[in-house]
Amino acid sequence: MGMINEGSENNGVMSPAAKALKRGFDILCSALGLVVTSPLFLVVCWFIRREDGGPAIFRQERIGYGGRPFMLYKFRSMTVMSEADGRPALCQKNDKRLTHIGRFLREHHLDELPQLWNVLRGDMSFVGPRPERKYFVDKIMAENSDYALLYQLRPGLFSPATLYNGYTDTMEKMLERLRMDLEYLRDRSLWLDLKIIYLTVMSILTGKKF
C-alpha cells in the first residue's frame, strides 16, 4: 500500500492557515463533544453490556492519513462473534449480526460517538472521507487506484459521501463513495466542512436514514 510523507501533502484549495483552523476546530469541538455526551456514553455502554454481556466499545484497524493504520473506536453494534470466520464483511440492510441496541445505535448514528476520541487524537477530522479497512481498501484500489489520493486527508466523522450516498454495502457504492470523496478533496474548504456538518446533524435529528 502506498504511503505519503506528511510534508508532501497537497494543499489544494485550503491554505496552511485554514488547515490549522480546521485542526483547532477538531480539537475544541471533539473535546467539548466528549464532555457533553459523557452521560450518554454511560447509558449506551450500560445497554450494550446488559444485552449480551460483551464489551461496549468496538475497536477496529482502519487506514488513515498518509496510508497509515490507526485504531478506530465505535460502540459495538454487532454480536461479539460477527466475523467469527475471520473474513471481513460489510454490514448489510437488516443484517442479522446486529444486536437490538446495535440496530438502534446504527439507525441513529450513535455508534459513531466514540470517534470523537479519534478526532481529538488527530487520527480523524470532523469532515473527511470515511476510513476503511485495508481488506476493502485493497479491493477498491484494484478498481480505481485514485483511492490513494485520499491519503492526503484525515478520515472524517462526517463526509459528503455518507450524507448523500449512505452506508456502503456493495463495491458499486464504494466506488461511488470514492468519486464523491475525490470531489471533496478537490473542493474542500472550511465553509464546505461547516455545511456538511450542519446538513448531517440536521439529517440525523430529523430521522433521515442514510
Q: Dump strand ranges (E) for the chain.
A: 57-63, 69-75, 125-127, 156-158
- What is the C-alpha separation between 113 and 38, in angstroms, rounded? 10
CA distances from 177 to 28, 114, 129, 144, 170 (A): 28, 23, 9, 12, 11
- Which residue is associated with the grid cell 450524507? 163
Any idea what the Cα angle at residue 71 is, between residues 70 and 72, rounded to 5°?
A: 115
- What is the C-alpha separation between 128 and 65, in angstroms, rounded? 10
What would the grid cell of residue 19 be?
A: 488547515
Residue 210 has pLDDT above 70, yes or no: no
- Which residue is associated with the grid cell 449506551? 44
- What is the C-alpha separation between 148 and 160, in angstroms, rounded? 18
What is the pLDDT at residue 5? Answer: 39
Residue 197 host element (H or E): helix 190-205
Q: pLDDT band for position 130 (50/70/90)?
A: very high
Residue 59 has pLDDT above 80, yes or no: yes
Q: pLDDT band for position 8 (50/70/90)?
A: very low
136-163 pLDDT, tens per residue? Answer: 999 999 999 999 999 999 999 999 988 8
